[in-house]
Amino acid sequence: MNPMLRESPYPMLDVEAALATVLAHVAPLALEHVDALRAEGRILAEDLVASEDLPDLPKAAMDGYALRSSDGLLPRRVIAELTAGESAGLLVGPGEASRIMTGATMPTGADAMIPVELTRETDGMLVVDRAIRPGEHVHPVGQDLARGQLVLARGTRLNAAEVGILATLGITQVAVFRQPRVAVLATGDEVYEPGAPRPAGAVRDSNRYALLAAVREAGGVAISLGIARDDAAIQRRAILDGIAQADVLLTSGGVSMGTRDLIKPILAELGTIHFGRVKFKPGKPTTFASVGDTLVFGLPGYPVSSLVAFEVFVRPALRALQGDPQPVRPRAIARIDAAIRPSPDRPEYQRVRLAWRGAELWATSTGNQGSSRLLSMHGANGLLIVPPGAQVYPAGSSLEVLVTGDLR
């Protein structure tokens, strides 16, 4: 029987120092070229410059008539009709006008257009209600994008609008940072697959599946390594398997001080442990190591602790690996709608639902904050950072919050 540790050999880092340690070991992965029209969510690895003017020819901004502004209020003879996509090939001379539809190329000779609402056309003659200035209601060459203009900078996250811009420029392949391959390993004799029979006292493996989903949400490629029983040789083989195929390895459980907590000794043997405890709640035994080029996070076995540690430390690493220039979730100030008793010695990351009430952001607790109660993560879009102390924070107090989802 192995002896139980009475004191951890690892110093306890505060959250800021631990996160800085993680990010100091992260650099963006190599770039790869992907289908630009399906690249949403990816991070651009190169500056993109416009290769042409947009529009490349002057275009009508509205439905109406193309004309010469110098004709003033004189009646004009309507000589043609131009639609979008049609080559103009037309000369509008003095005293003439052409019907023109939105997006159609302006004909030669016409330097302005007038909306149809400001005109009357009778027997092929056009009368305008007011004089038009040169260039009025015309999209000039290069109005949207000028040739040589920086369109999207390296580090831009490609969302719907950016994919549309790529399509507008005719770009079908784009350089982005590679998505990290992230292997996830559950540990423990008491852990069983969700669909398997569960002996009394055993638990179903929620951690691995929650972490795999979190990895995908953060832009990583998730790899499941299954469950490793509490045997040093078995866990060592599983860890080596993960390291062989992944940029990042996440383990769940086995990082505390019990006789079957084997992850830290294995990581110390295989690589370097950068920290083995963090001064926060939940998730104190969170561990960060590197084995060769692979980053390893030893996450706690409690499901809430595992996901909170993922949000605070793992997700920023995954985003930074993808070249995200802002890998850390945004923070805000929120008022609490119920009193909170803080932990005496560690900042606590409480799960809350954030919502606007007028111009103020308010935080509502998701209920019991126990580390085993995964339901406390349900519906949460923020982690309220409650500083340690002896005094209760009364309702209405303002505290910092890590925003983890859309604000309502």
CB 288, CB 18: distance < 8 Å: yes
For 59-139, give the CATH class: mainly beta
Q: Give the single-character DSSP code of 145.
A: B
Question: How far is the C-alpha of 298 from the C-alpha of 82, rounded, in Å?
Answer: 66
Q: How far apart are CA 296 and CA 82, in angstroms?
A: 63
In the chain, CATH 3.90.105.10 covers: 32-53+143-177
Q: Is the pTM of this model over 0.75?
A: yes
Classify strands 221-228 and 203-204 as parallel, antiparallel or unpaired: unpaired
Q: What is the pLDDT of residues 259-281, one digit of tens each?
A: 788 999 999 999 999 999 999 99
Q: Would you tell me which CATH number, out of the four given (3.40.1160.10, 3.20.20.60, 3.40.50.300, 3.40.980.10), belongs to the domain 15-30+178-322?
A: 3.40.980.10
Unique residue bearing structure tokens 């493996």:
205
**Which homologous superfamily is 331-403 in?**
MoeA, C-terminal, domain IV (2.40.340.10)
Residue 37 DSSP label: G
pLDDT in tens, 347-369: 999 999 999 999 999 999 999 99
The upper half-sphere exposure of residue 116, i.e. CA atoms within 13 Å in the direction of its Cβ, equals: 13
Instruction: Determine the Cα–Cα distance for residues 282 and 311; give it in Å rounded to an integer.
Output: 12
* Residue ranges of the chain that CATH labels 3.40.980.10: 15-30+178-322
Cα–Cα distance measured from residue 97 to residue 84, given in angstroms and rounded to the nearest whole number: 17
Fold of 32-53+143-177: Molybdopterin biosynthesis moea protein, domain 2 (3.90.105)
Mean pLDDT, residues 7-23: 94
- Residues in a beta bridge with 115: 64
The answer to whether residues 385 and 401 touch, using CB atoms and an 8 Å cutoff, is yes
Q: Which two tokens stand for residue 301?
A: 């076995």
In this prediction, residue 88 has a pLDDT band, given cuts at 50, 70 and 90, of low
Q: Measure the CA angle with vertex 243, ends 240 and 246; round to 5°.
A: 150
Q: Where in the chain is the domain with CATH 2.40.340.10?
A: 331-403
